Amino acid sequence: PTHITSNLSASEIETHYGLRVRSRLREMVNLISYDKTTNDKR
């Protein structure tokens, strides 16, 4: 498996890389999102 991590939001990914990349990532990955206030992110 391939793991991809980013501190960018979906809209920031679209701004930097374009709608096409954002769309491709959404269809190819399983998104795991953490609340910014969560201390334990294991």
Task: List the domain range (segments joined by +) for residue 6.
Answer: 1-32
Please report whether residue 38 resides in a domain: no
Q: Looking at the 3D structure of the chain, how many domains does it have?
A: 1
pLDDT digit string, tens, across residues 4-26: 888 898 899 999 999 999 999 99
Please report whether residue 19 resides in a domain: yes
pTM of the predicted structure, to 2 decimals: 0.67
Specify the 3-state DSSP secondary structure of 27.
Answer: helix
Please report whether residue 37 resides in a domain: no
Of the listed ranges 1-5, 9-13, 26-30, 34-38, the least confidently predicted one is 34-38
At 19, phi and psi to the nearest 5?
Answer: -60, -35
Please report whether residue 41 resides in a domain: no
CB 29 within 8 A of CB 4: yes
